[in-house]
Amino acid sequence: MSANWGGSDLWTLAVIVGLALVTVLTRSFFFISSKSWQLPHWAQRGLQYAPIAALSAVVVPEIITVQGVLVSTWQDARIFSAVVGAAVYFWRRDVFLTIIAGMVVYLPLHLGLGW
C-alpha cells in the first residue's frame, strides 16, 4: 500500500498536529506562567462536588430508565439493588461492601426472577 499524501491526508495531519499543540499549550499553561496563583475559594469548593455530580449524572439515569424511558414497574432489580446499596453505604461507609450488597440483591432478582 502506498501512502496517499493528497489534500485530505495533509489536512488530517494538520488537524492532528494543531489539536496536539492546543492540548499541550492548555495543559501546560499553569507551568508556563511565572506568577503563582490559586483558584478562588468558591471554585475550590465547587470542585469538591464535581466527582459526585459526574457519577450521579452517569448512574442515576441508568437506574431509573430503560432505553431512555422511565421505569414503569416496581419489578426492576436495579432499583432494589440501588436502594440496598445506598442503605449499606450510609450504614457502614464502605464502598466495597456497598458494591457487594447491591450485587447480592441484583443478581438473584435479575437472573433468578428475570426482573
Q: pLDDT tens across 52-75, in order? A: 899 899 999 999 998 888 988 888
**For residues 77 and 115, is the Cβ–Cβ distance under 8 A?**
yes
Better pLDDT: 72 or 14: 14
Please tell me the distance from the alpha carbon of residue 15 to that of residue 89, in angstroms, as a whole number: 47
pLDDT at site 20? 97
- Does residue 1 carry a pLDDT above 50? no
Total Cβ atoms within 10 A of residue 92: 12
Cα–Cα distances in Å, from 9 out to 5, 13, 16? 5, 6, 11
Give me the sign of the Cα torsion angle 50, 51, 57, 60: negative
Stated pTM of the model: 0.58
